[in-house]
Amino acid sequence: MNITANNQVTNLRPQNLESVIPNANDILLTLGAELVYIQDSSGRYLVFSWQHSEFFDLDTEKIVDQVSQDRGKFTPVDKVAYLEKLHQVLTSLVPQRLQCKFQCSQHLLELELTMTPLMPQLGEAATTVLVMGRLLSAAVNQTELYGEVTIPTLLELTWRSQQHQKLLNQLTRDIRRTLDPKIIWQQTADSLGKALNIAHCIICPYQPQKPTLKVIAEYHHPGIKSVLGLEIELSSEPAMIQALTTLEPLLIETPSYINDQHYKMLVVATYYRKQANGLIVLNLNHKCLPLTKAELELAKEVGDQLGTAFAHANIYQELETARQKAEEASRLKSQFLANVSHEIRTPLNGMIGFIKLILDGMVDEPEEMNSCLEEAYQSSLHLLNILNDILDTAKIEAGKMELNCVPVQLKDLFTQVENFMRPQAEMKNLSFQINIPATSDPIIIQADYQRLLQVMLNLVGNAIKFTNEGGITISADLVIRRGRTRLPLQQIPGMLRVRVMDTGIGVSLDKQDKLFQLFSQVDGSRTRHYGGTGLGLTISQKLVESMGGEVHFFSLGEGLGSTVTFTVPLYQKPVIHSVQED
């Protein structure tokens, strides 16, 4: 290197150096050297410019900071020998070439340097030197790497780390633009796969209670078979378990889950508030350079950012689902109130009408008057039942439903149900049958008699209302278990199962889940046609569950009839002729 070729440099003198320093980098870059700096006799940097400063994470402003004198990131290994050489150049005013090792952060650099004195004014001593040089070789502290690395790869590793940081920044921006978890997962897989130029990348959500991981997002090259939807057994993947447990990225060499080839596999857990919620698995090429600690930290940050975005997206979805449910509940309540107001007005109008006829003297005959009074009475009973249903619903929602469970004879219960409901069935020309198991002694159950009667009347009343031809069949059978079934506060010998079957209009399979929802009705048109509040099944379910039983509804579809079953605990094990075991 011939420094005398440029008069701009040789004309720099100590007395005007301070005025030149603000633009010194621009001037020194014209020299075409890779590394250029100016130092005073103490080794303090006055100007510093290096093409590779970003690669080695050098802050040039700190290096030339005259206040802090922070030269710790770029210092000669043998400071004494270096300063001796600097003083020789200042004394002799003769440029010298030297090879010197510098410590640069975690890197050991070997530099070829040319040190030239900046010529003072005549009669004055030289106090500053201009140093130009280039990088000959570099070594890396091996604790910073995952594996071995050769010296020529150093700059490539540093450049790659910078690209990965840019990728993280881009990923963070992208995943914050959406609150859809599926889009976040797939967008991340595509971005990682394309930016890192890897053959395959999969992402799996993780739930601690599940023993498997399902691949829900994937990026792969055309020649690789897709594994989207694959269920991965966690028990057979210790690396994945370790990553999910420690939340630390893990680089291993393992047989691929795609084929029999071996891959370097980077496993990164995504997490939120120190709890894992997903896993990213990247298959790296064998020729891929070793990963630095900085890159593994970046991978962990990706897991943090993605896990946080996924958690926020799930929270948003839960809130959105709750909002939709609240709106649906509000709509159903409004529809329910409209139907109930109609149901209340109908018997009320009937009562008012019949009483008005009597008061206005429109009814002369005693028989006709008695008929009007009977109709008004029946309407009042119907109105009372509606109000009771509404009050029961309010009690159930408030958790204030109180039951008095005592021994109840099944025969007495069925007899009263028959007395109430058979006339209604016969009015519609429907058959009405009741079947009780053959036992040597009475079947006694443990229940609240009035509430159980209410359940039976609700279920049988619905069966009659929605059946136009055929009939209603009520049956019961004993579910005697080996051992004893434990319910809260007591043990029971078994259960009684009651079935109410009809040949009515049935319910389509896709609408049966609405039957037991409060304020929900399977079909508003049916309610308007057949009447009713739609509370019967819901109230019946809650009452039966409060007595220790269960309610189930079965129908093969519209027009195919329905069967409702419920169970209640037995008070004592009866002597029976035949036993059915479940």
Ordered alpha helix ranges (H), 360-465: 366-398, 410-427, 449-465
- In the chain, CATH 3.30.450.40 sits at 152-320
Query: Which candidate, 19, 60, 64, 57, places its Cα nearest to that of 39?
Result: 64
Looking at residue 582, what DSSP letter applies? Answer: -
- Note the pLDDT tens digit of each residue in 410-438: 999 999 999 988 988 999 999 999 998 88
- In the chain, CATH 3.30.565.10 sits at 401-569
For residue 320 the two structure tokens come to: 């959105």
197 in helix, strand or coil? coil
Helix (H) or strand (E) holding 142, with range, is none
Amino acid at 502: D
What's the CATH superfamily of 152-320?
GAF domain (3.30.450.40)
Q: What's the average pLDDT block by block, 10 residues per block, for the chain (582 residues)? A: 40 46 52 83 88 75 64 79 93 91 81 89 85 79 43 51 66 73 82 78 90 91 87 90 92 61 80 91 68 72 84 84 82 70 80 88 85 86 77 72 86 91 91 88 89 88 89 88 48 85 85 63 49 67 87 85 91 62 44
Q: Are 43 and 79 in contact (CB under 8 A)?
A: yes
User: Concatenated DSSP letters for 84-99?
Assistant: HHHHHHHHH---EEEE
Q: 3-140 has which CATH code?
A: 3.30.450.20
- In the chain, CATH 3.30.450.20 sits at 3-140
- Note the pLDDT tens digit of each residue in 221-276: 887 889 999 999 999 889 899 999 999 998 887 655 445 555 678 899 999 989 99
Our CA angle for 346, 350, 353, nearest 5°, is 135
| Cα–Cα distance, 493 to 480 (Å, whole number) | 7
User: 264 - beta bridge partners?
Assistant: 253, 284
Top CATH class, 401-569: alpha beta
- Phi, psi values for residue 359, rounded to 5°: -65, -35
Question: Count of CB atoms within 10 A of residue 376's CB?
Answer: 20
- In the chain, CATH 1.10.287.130 sits at 323-396
| Cα–Cα distance, 77 to 36 (Å, whole number) | 18
pLDDT of residue 491: 66
Residue environment code for 143-155, b if the CB has 16+ CB neighbours within 10 A, otherwise e:
ebbbeebeeebbe
Q: 323-396 has which CATH code?
A: 1.10.287.130
Residues 6 or more apart from 140 whose CB is under 8 A from it? 106, 107, 108, 149, 151, 154, 157
Could you tell me how far CA 437 lies from the centroid of its own chain? 51
| Cα–Cα distance, 526 to 5 (Å, whole number) | 101
pLDDT of residue 401: 73
Residues 6 or more apart from 427 whose CB is under 8 A from it? none
